[in-house]
Amino acid sequence: MATFPVINLEKLNGEERAAAMEQIKDACENWGFFEVLNHGIPRDFLDAVERLTKEHYKKCMEQRFKELVASKALEGLEAEVTDMDWESTFFLRHLPESNMAEIPDLTDEYRKVMKEFAVKLEKLAEELLDLLCENLGLEKGYLKKAFYGAKGPTFGTKVSNYPPCPTPDKIKGLRAHTDAGGIILLFQDPVVGGLQLLKDGEWVDVPPLRHSIVINLGDQLEVITNGKYKSVEHRVIAQTNGARMSIASFYNPGSDAVIYPAPQLVEEERKEIYPKFVFEDYMKLYAGLKFQAKGPRFEAMKAMETTTPIATA
């Protein structure tokens, strides 16, 4: 089994740039996931994000999760649970409008740090999209522009904690799925693992690495690249020991953005494989089908396209 791709972005600034770009290309084409180091977000800042997230969980979320486990009788499971996940979460919206001020229980320090984190991650997401453009032979800025709706992109963060689970064989931390959106940037626990991706029919661990950011590609990049890059199924295995922190930020198209394969990549393939649709319509479909195969979602959008054609701006 090939080794999970870990890429040092510092190499992009020197003589090893070509090799680093090749690593990114291979990861996008063959994994749909990679982990980046020296990405420009300071280590002490990431330490603060981790500390404040874990403090917030202990103070505000842990008891709620225990009450949920008790109310749903999840403590001593004997049969497999397939309609729930063993996770405690809350969501932050950054773009087009922030909801940070509306989230209860956040300390002023945590709110300030997460706002700053979102700005840093947005910048990194756009830098990575331009690296993908370079590897795909698309003009710089193409993918960022493709994600823009009337109010720009959508950007938000899912803050999750996966507490120790007494029956990890009966319930997943998070059931297998592909991500609906664009490019996902994950800051995960540096010690407790559990994230896995499906490669060549086998589940592969995504290694916890301190101060790294894990990148994965969503369904929209599969469409825009006409299948050259693919979104990949992944899941979280609940652990018996240790709580796992996971902060996943989703840089997605604007709700009214029209998504379709890049014409240049269609010409190369000589056929258009994927449909054209409004991102919001895809998300409505995804909401009910997240934990099912992505193929039928694309087919459903294709069927919708034939009945209600969409003009391209």
Kindly list the distances between the CA atom of residue 24 and the CA atoms of 41, 182, 277, in Å, as whole numbers in the listed order: 19, 16, 28
Quote the pLDDT of residue 70: 84
Over residues 84-131, the pLDDT tens digits come to 999 999 999 999 999 999 999 999 999 999 999 999 999 999 999 999
For residue 1, pLDDT over 90 is answered with no
207-211, 271-275, 307-311: segment of lowest average pLDDT: 307-311
The set of residues, in sequence order, having a beta carbon less than 8 Å from that of 58 and lying 6+ positions away, is none
Over residues 242-253, the pLDDT tens digits come to 999 999 999 999
Q: How confident is the model at residue 268 (pLDDT cuts 50, 70, 90)?
A: confident
Q: How confident is the model at residue 74 (pLDDT cuts 50, 70, 90)?
A: confident
Rounded Cα gap, residues 54 and 243, in angstroms: 9
Over residues 144-194, the pLDDT tens digits come to 999 999 999 999 999 999 999 999 999 999 999 999 999 999 999 999 999
Quote the pLDDT of residue 311: 60
Q: pLDDT: is 312 or 53 the higher one?
A: 53
Quote the pLDDT of residue 73: 74
Over residues 282-305, the pLDDT tens digits come to 999 999 999 999 999 999 999 988
In the block, tokens 């689970």 appear at 165
Quote the pLDDT of residue 309: 62
Query: What's the length of the chain?
Result: 313
Structure tokens at 216: 């994965």
Quote the pLDDT of residue 278: 97
Q: Are strands 33-37 and 6-8 parallel, antiparallel or unpaired?
A: parallel
For residue 312, pLDDT over 60 is answered with no
In the block, tokens 């599969």 appear at 222
Quote the pLDDT of residue 308: 65
Q: What angle do CA 31, 141, 270 make, to 5 degrees?
A: 60
Quote the pLDDT of residue 54: 98
Task: Read off the pTM.
Answer: 0.95
Q: How confident is the model at residue 306 (pLDDT cuts 50, 70, 90)?
A: low
Rounded Cα gap, residues 179 and 158, in angstroms: 12
- Contact, 282 vs 230, CB < 8 A? no
Q: How confident is the model at residue 270 (pLDDT cuts 50, 70, 90)?
A: confident
Over residues 181-238, the pLDDT tens digits come to 999 999 999 999 999 999 999 999 999 999 999 999 999 999 999 999 999 999 999 9
Quote the pLDDT of residue 48: 98
Quote the pLDDT of residue 254: 98
